Amino acid sequence: MVRAIYPGSFDPITYGHIDIARRAAELFDELYVVVMENKRKNYTFTIEERVEMVKECLKDIPNIRVDTFSGLLVEYTTKNNINVVIRGLRAVTDFEYELQMALANKEICNGVETVFLMTDKNYSFLSSSLVKEVASFGGQVSQWVPEFVERKLREKFGNLK
């Protein structure tokens, strides 16, 4: 059985994240979508809220497991016998950062491979930060996030149209 991990902050999860998760789930026997917690980051949503959104948005994919983790990604992969890390790429700027992370992970844990999946062209500009910024000003975000996530954004910011 080949297991892969798709880590991220998912603050909030977007259609771009969902697209990568669906495609990765088709490639691997089990896909762990892991909501990461970084103590140095300021999140809009709590870890519990992010997990709830991820679970709701991916509930129809049977081979996906949703989990949380705080620490080095390779610690999680070792503990759970996972040797493939999935990373989505939107643009060249993503590649530079993700390549550094992939090489560092490989240096720390030689058994971990990183697989890069190119985003669908419809989501190449999309980020959680963009969604939150537009939502915070009351802008329309339904084209970028599922209805459940849009409701959570509306609750958080209180001003979505």
Catalytic residues: 17, 41, 90, 128
* Cα dist from 136 to 27, 149, 159, 161, whole Å: 36, 14, 7, 11
12 contact partners, CB below 8 Å, separation of at least 6: 44, 45, 50, 53, 128, 131, 132, 145, 149, 152, 153
Q: Backbone dihedral region of 158: left (phi > 0), alpha (psi from -120 to 50 degrees) or beta?
A: left
**For the chain, what percentages of helix, strand and coil (3-state, to nearest 5) are there?**
45, 20, 35
Indicate the DSSP class of residue 161. Answer: -
Q: Residue 71: how many CA atoms within 13 Å on its side-chain side?
A: 8
In the chain, which residue ranges form alpha helices assigned H by DSSP?
15-27, 47-58, 73-79, 92-108, 128-136, 147-157
